[in-house]
Structure 1
Amino acid sequence: MLRRNFVKSTLGLAGAALMAGESFASPSAAFAKNKFKLKYASHFGMFANSAGKDLIDQLKFMADQGFMAIEDNGMMGRPVEEQEKIAREMSRLGMEMGVFVVDKGGNGANTLASGKKENIDIFLSGCKRAVEVAKRVNAKWMTVVPGDFDRSLPIGVQTGHVIDALRRGAEILEPHGLVMVLEPLSDTPNLFLRTSDQTYEICRGVNSKSCKILYDIYHMQKNEGRLIYNIEKTWSEIDYFQIGDEPGRKEPTTGEINYKNVFKYIYDRSKKEGRSFIMGMEHGNYKQGKEGEEALIKAYVESDSFDI
């Protein structure tokens, strides 16, 4: 299984600085301005006004602020040289890689619900290429969306087709210790995968440690609500979380979700069970410019300040 490669301090700092809930902290984490309880993963562009446009400078800024993970939906589309450069800097900083999206893994034009061979072949090709990218950037998780409904077929038949396709994808990923995380979305009612319980059912049907749930809190607030209740009910199949407040899909504290309570539930339960989640910051900035980036950091400091 691929594991995150933490940078070991040649100065013996590793044992001196431990982040809450973690048994090891990289040198960058030891000197970060904020010591977050959860592992929040920012993305490129989120701090471009503060760090500049260079991706490596952005990584350094993220680590300096205490964001010790990153996710990059478009990683598969980056040149190999750029992927390798990003991976080297992340390793040096002790940062973990979160999700990237499986290219053409499933979308409106390539729905897995139809059961068509040409659609499944595109998906499986994406899984095979994702293995190489994951090795290159030291990733474990990749996002898969099964695509749209095929309304010419009964829902049970569509579900069977999705399970069959995902099972074949899992067979590609499992020998490498990789996990595709299925993301139910709220972007359009045409999407096949919409709720956490539906995704839970599909993961149980695939029955593979390489097929789990990406619980996007923003999308699930829109589609089903009762966030902590539904997280609790589907917990065993969740392997990754993403963040965004509703309405607006911006940072916590800008909408109606009580993120401090949600984060506390995830932290308390994962700590009790010896689990650790990456929390992807898949949202925009509520305010523009450097001021907005500073406000975003403060929002995470506030939302992460729950009692333990």
Structure 2
Amino acid sequence: MSGLRFDANLKWLFTEHDFLDRFAAAAEAGFAAVEYPAPYAYPVSELRARLDDNGLHQVLVNTPMGERGTPEQQGVTCFPDLVPRFRSEFLTALEYAVGLGADFVHLVGGMVPPGVSRDRAFARYVANVAWASEQAASTGVRLLLEAQNKRDAPGFVLETQAQARAVAEACDAGNVGVLLDVYHAQIDEGDLLRRIEEGLPEAFHVQIADPPSRHEPGTGELNFRAVFAAIAASGYEGWIGCEYEPLAGTREGLAWREELTA
């Protein structure tokens, strides 16, 4: 399993430092790549300099999300009445991804808005994904679709890993794939090793955290030795994003990288 590649999610890790200082902290801790959802408070040039100065690769950015506690807190990709906003925000995300040399834009699906049927929201989601796929086609940036668990994101438009795969397959464009998050998959669907076996052939990216509390591997209910073995056995060669809240400090909690992947 030594071939597994982990990247640091700078929203969650190294929060002991100001955001722009987290790049150096990640590099010093042995990470070769980073991801983070919201680069939009900083100019591309500043973020690119931090990447280059620390020898880091950018894996992904998310499409913008609204304020916590609002209907838009998980994005507006599925909002039928906010198509112009979605398109504008996606083009901004794509611009950042290109400028940062990122592999992916994660199209955050959104929670079904009040007063809108799930069917209508889902249809708009699929249409927006197809439109975004066309916009990204010439850039080399690929798009990610992620199902999120209903405990943390009630009403989220994508309900299962299989549904996320079906949307990606329906686009039939080659630049849309699944973000397989083992934390979300375990909470909502369980039978995680089967979810990995079914999902990894079509997954572009993987993220990890240990439920139920979303801390680092080895602190919760999952057997991460088996999880990492299953990922390695699948032939997956992409990055694995560390999207967890450290239990007692980022550096103190990184021993799992050696202990659970040996």
TM-score between both structures, scaled by the size of structure 1: 0.74
Cα 1:102–1:300 change in 2 (3 A) is same
Shift of 1:48: 5.4
Q: Which of 272, 291, 300 is residue 257 of structure 2 equivalent to?
A: 300
Look up the match of 2:125: 162
Contact kept, 8 Å, 2:107 with 2:129, in 1: the verdict is: no
How far apart, CA to CA, are the structure 2 residues paired with 1:210 and 1:76? 23
Shift of 1:160: 2.6
Instruction: Give matches, 1:131-150, under 5 Å.
Output: 131-150=94-113
Report 1 or 2 for greater relative contact order, CA contacts < 8 Å, sequence distance ≥ 6: 2
Look up the match of 1:244: 209
Contact kept, 8 Å, 1:159 with 1:202, in 2: the verdict is: no
Shift of 1:155: 4.3
AA paired with 1:265? A
AA paired with 2:148? L
1:42 aligns with 2:5: no
1:221 aligns with 2:186: yes
Contact kept, 8 Å, 1:83 with 1:136, in 2: the verdict is: no
Identity %: 23
Contact kept, 8 Å, 1:104 with 1:126, in 2: the verdict is: no
1:83 aligns with 2:44: no
How far apart, CA to CA, are the structure 1 residues paired with 2:51 and 2:245? 24
1:174 aligns with 2:154: no
Q: Find the residue that maps to 1:76 and give its secondary structure.
A: coil
Look up the match of 1:201: 166
How far apart, CA to CA, are the structure 2 residues paired with 1:229 and 1:151? 34
Instruction: Give matches, 1:224-235, under 5 Å.
Output: 224-235=189-200
1:74 aligns with 2:31: no
TM-score between both structures, scaled by the size of structure 2: 0.86
Structure 2: where are the runs of 5+ without partners? none
Contact kept, 8 Å, 2:94 with 2:105, in 1: the verdict is: no
How far apart, CA to CA, are the structure 2 residues paired with 1:194 and 1:152? 19
What number of residue pairs does the alignment pair up?
255
- Deviation per CA, 1:232-251: give whole Å up to 9, x if none: 22233210111110111010
Q: Find the residue that maps to 1:177 and give its secondary structure.
A: coil
Contact kept, 8 Å, 1:114 with 1:161, in 2: the verdict is: yes
Cα 1:64–1:247 change in 2 (3 A) is same
Q: Find the residue that maps to 2:254 and give its secondary structure.
A: helix
Shift of 1:99: 1.6
**What's the Cα RMSD here?**
2.5
How far apart, CA to CA, are the structure 1 residues paired with 2:199 and 2:9? 26
Contact kept, 8 Å, 1:144 with 1:181, in 2: the verdict is: yes
Q: Which of 209, 229, 246 is residue 285 of structure 1 equivalent to?
A: 246
Contact kept, 8 Å, 2:23 with 2:51, in 1: the verdict is: no
Structure 1: where are the runs of 5+ without partners? 1-19, 21-35
Q: Find the residue that maps to 1:77 and give its secondary structure.
A: coil
- Deviation per CA, 1:148-195: give whole Å up to 9, x if none: 225756544443322111100111112101112112112122211132
Look up the match of 1:55: 20
Contact kept, 8 Å, 1:87 with 1:136, in 2: the verdict is: no
Q: Find the residue that maps to 1:203 and give its secondary structure.
A: helix
Cα 1:70–1:121 change in 2 (3 A) is same
Look up the match of 1:17: none
How far apart, CA to CA, are the structure 2 residues paired with 1:168 and 1:219? 26
AA paired with 2:163? Q
Look up the match of 1:100: 61
